[in-house]
């Protein structure tokens, strides 16, 4: 039996492409829905989580990872883990991939795909609310998918915004409401528990890409933003437990019928932007099925 490759970012340097990875996610949604499952274990503030998915034709994947908030003080990442890919026909292990590599490409490519399906075709101005690692990958992904787009960064930490702007050549937003109003696409990748994006700042024709909220107690956009938008998600099951969607649903701000489609619907053309004046909202919730699709793209790129 051949040795199972264990792949890290160094093994894929220069081999991956944002448009190729976004297309891998699109292709994975042209088939039947995935089978998915989660395991969640805690030890005080520490978490061990495993997410599994099976997609017909793509095989299976399990991404297991730890979240340990005290690790940065030890000089270690707070999130560490690995994705195991399984052959579609035999169930044999095909590869083990560093979860940080998978997550980096999955998160931004998911948002890029959503924007290419929903954002106005003439989008020229992107505002990113965040200045961390995800924000950096969003700059790369959006520039690949929307050539020539002007990027502006806003962060609650001015020093972080300045550092990312210097590294990427982006501009810095001093006035958040004004920057939101000027943008064609607004992407949020914060760790906010309370909304940082207000609906009364929005104007017709924009696209909102909401990424940061990943728990039931997190929100990035307020109720007014959801009410003003036509809402789409990458996965109904994945988004349904996140505060961005679950909280306004529970309070009757929006109803289930206001979730107009997921990536299966968007890729198939059953849902999407209807005209240039509406505001579209895409909730990037992630999920094991996306890890599998991106893991396949990574393994294919490594094999050449």
pLDDT in tens, 56-92: 999 999 999 998 889 889 999 888 999 999 999 999 9
What total of structural domains would you count in the chain? 2
Q: Tell me whether residue 128 is in a domain.
A: yes
Tens of pLDDT, residues 102-141: 999 999 999 999 999 999 999 999 999 999 999 999 999 9
> 60 near 46, Cβ under 8 Å?
no
Same domain, 293 and 279: no
| Three-state SS sequence of 141-156 | HHHHHCCCCEEEEECC
Task: Give the pLDDT mean for 209-219.
Answer: 91
Same domain, 272 and 141: yes
Question: The domain containing residue 270 runs over which residues?
Answer: 120-286
- What is the side-by-side order of every strand in the sheet holding 171-172? 171-172, 150-154, 125-129, 185-188, 207-210, 279-283, 229-233
Give 280's pLDDT tier (boundaries 50, 70, 90). Answer: very high
Place of tokens 């939101």: 180
Phi-psi region of 187 (alpha: psi -120 to 50; beta: other; left: phi over 0): beta
Pairing of strands 171-172, 150-154: parallel
Tens of pLDDT, residues 158-171: 999 999 999 999 99
Same domain, 160 and 94: no
Same domain, 257 and 153: yes
Task: Give the pLDDT mean for 176-203.
Answer: 96
Give 1's pLDDT tier (boundaries 50, 70, 90). Answer: low
Same domain, 24 and 162: no
Characterize 224-233 residue by residue with b for buried, 16 or more Cβ atoms within 10 angstroms of its Cβ, and e for exposed: bbbebbbbbb
Same domain, 141 and 240: yes
pTM of the prediction?
0.95
**Percent residues over pLDDT 70 in the chain:** 100
Same domain, 211 and 138: yes
Same domain, 140 and 279: yes
Q: Tell me whether residue 108 is in a domain.
A: no
For residue 67, give both structure tokens. 């979240």
Tens of pLDDT, residues 221-272: 999 999 999 999 999 988 988 999 999 999 999 999 999 999 999 999 999 9
Cα–Cα distance list, 40 to 37, 47, 52, 67, 269 (Å): 10, 7, 12, 11, 35
For residue 104, give both structure tokens. 């980096």
Predicted local distance difference test score (pLDDT) of residue 79: 87
Same domain, 294 and 270: no
Q: Tell me whether residue 61 is in a domain.
A: yes
Same domain, 273 and 203: yes
C-alpha–C-alpha distance, residues 200 and 202, integer Å: 6
SS3 246: helix
Residue 192 has pLDDT above 80, yes or no: yes
Q: What is the four-CA torsion angle of 59, 38, 20, 114, rounded to 10 degrees?
A: 130
Predicted local distance difference test score (pLDDT) of residue 175: 94
């Amino acid at each position: 039996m051949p040795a199972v490759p264990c792949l890290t970012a160094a093994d894929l340097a220069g081999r991956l492409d944002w448009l190729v990875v976004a297309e891998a996610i699109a292709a994975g949604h042209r088939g039947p829905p995935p089978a998915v499952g989660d395991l969640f274990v805690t030890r005080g503030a520490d978490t061990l989580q495993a997410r599994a998915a099976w997609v017909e034709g793509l095989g299976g994947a399990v991404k297991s990872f730890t979240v340990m908030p005290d690790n940065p003080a030890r000089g270690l990442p707070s999130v560490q883990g690995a994705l195991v890919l399984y052959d579609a026909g035999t169930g044999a292990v095909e590869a083990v991939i560093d979860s940080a590599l998978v997550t980096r490409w999955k998160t931004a490519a998911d948002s890029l795909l959503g924007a290419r399906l929903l954002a106005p075709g003439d989008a020229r101005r992107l505002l990113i609310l965040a200045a961390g690692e995800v924000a950096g990958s969003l700059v790369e992904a959006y520039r690949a998918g929307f050539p020539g787009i002007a990027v502006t960064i806003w962060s609650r930490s001015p020093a972080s915004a300045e550092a990312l702007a210097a590294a990427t050549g982006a501009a810095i937003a001093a006035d958040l409401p004004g920057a939101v109003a000027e943008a064609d696409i607004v992407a949020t990748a914060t760790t906010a528990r309370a909304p940082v994006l207000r609906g009364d700042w929005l104007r017709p024709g924009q696209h909102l890409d909401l990424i940061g909220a990943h728990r039931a107690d997190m929100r990035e956009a307020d109720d007014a933003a959801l009410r003003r938008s036509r809402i789409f998600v990458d996965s109904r099951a994945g988004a349904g437990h996140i505060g961005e969607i679950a909280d306004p649903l529970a309070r009757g701000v929006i109803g289930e019928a206001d979730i107009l489609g997921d990536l299966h619907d968007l890729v198939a053309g059953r849902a999407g932007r209807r005209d240039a004046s509406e505001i579209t909202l895409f909730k990037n919730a992630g999920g094991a099925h996306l890890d599998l699709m991106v893991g396949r793209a990574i393994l294919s790129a490594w094999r050449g």
